[in-house]
Amino acid sequence: MSEQQTPAPGPAPADRRLDEELRAVRARRGRYVPAAMLEVIDRATADLAASGRAERALAVGARAPRFALPSATGRTVALDDLLAGGPVVLTFYRGTWCPFCVIALRALRRRLTEITARGARLVAVSPQVPDESLSLVEKHALDFDVLSDVGSTVARQYGLDFRVPDALAKVYEGFRFEMDRVNGGHGRTLPLTATYVIDQGSTIRWAFVDADYTRRAEPADVLTALDALRPGAR
């Protein structure tokens, strides 16, 4: 069984920290992924972290680049339209094949009511084609916008795109993950995992960016960032 097929844990309580879930899955990887493949995966992650790519991504205070992307259901969703209704929580993920991504998206979904209660919209973006995103939405009942950034054009504007190294690409081929197909012919480009809170003036007010795909923004921290946008908040 490949890393992509590593079983994700079942439903978790809303107050459980996402980090706990992710660490549990990471600890189990050795049961399903051969040691040689894990070594390649972890080396590629370490090399990406050492490259400083995450530090060069857009950060707090930057103006969020505009975008208009297709949703899983075929609608075009524009950042300007979303911001017209309130702040936006924008999260980038690698794809449905990544168990860490699925866990992170489900964790955000568990806090969706609290996000919307703060007047915000949650939007998830990946390089997958819309059909792949639709499968994710239907399987995990994601009732927020899931958008397709084929070619990672938007991820590039946010400074998040990176090229998958040859050794890691071979590992993915061994997993029989059809990267070219699910990413619309752009199988060698993925985004760093990242989550942004963007205010109605299009300014990034909170950011989480990490080169380690096993680490994600805590939903509780996202809520705290949204609270800081409220009038009178310090």
Mean pLDDT of 194-206: 98
Strands 145-148 and 121-126, how do they pair?
parallel
Q: What percent of the chain has pLDDT over 70?
A: 88
The CATH code that applies to domain 15-227 is 3.40.30.10
Per the document, the length of the chain is 234
DSSP 71: B
Which helix (H) or strand (E) segment holds residue 77: the answer is: strand 76-78
Evaluate if residue 137 carries a pLDDT over 60.
no
Which helix (H) or strand (E) segment holds residue 110: the answer is: helix 99-110
CA–CA gap between residue 102 and residue 9 (Å, rounded): 10
Mean pLDDT of 89-103: 93
pLDDT of residue 136: 62
Spatial contact of 57 and 160, defined as CB atoms under 8 Å apart? yes
CA–CA gap between residue 192 and residue 212 (Å, rounded): 8
CA–CA gap between residue 12 and residue 5 (Å, rounded): 19
Closest by CA position to 164, among listed 185, 186, 182, 144: 186
Instruction: Tell me whether residue 165 is exposed, middle or buried, using C-beta atoms within 10 angstroms of its C-beta: 0 to 12, 13 to 18, 19 or more.
Output: middle
Which residues sit opposite 148 in a β-bridge? 126
Domain locations in the chain as residue ranges: 15-227
For residues 81 and 182, the model is more confident at: 81
pLDDT of residue 144: 87
Closest by CA position to 195, among listed 206, 208, 211, 204: 208
Q: In Å, how far are 95, 174, 207 from 110, measured between CA atoms?
A: 19, 33, 20
Q: CA-based diameter of the chain, in Å?
A: 54
Q: What is the pTM of this model?
A: 0.90
Residue 82 CA to its chain's centroid (Å): 18
Name the pLDDT band for 130 (thresholds 50, 70, 90): confident
Rounded to the nearest 10°, the torsion over CA 70, 76, 82, 83 is: 90
pLDDT of residue 174: 84
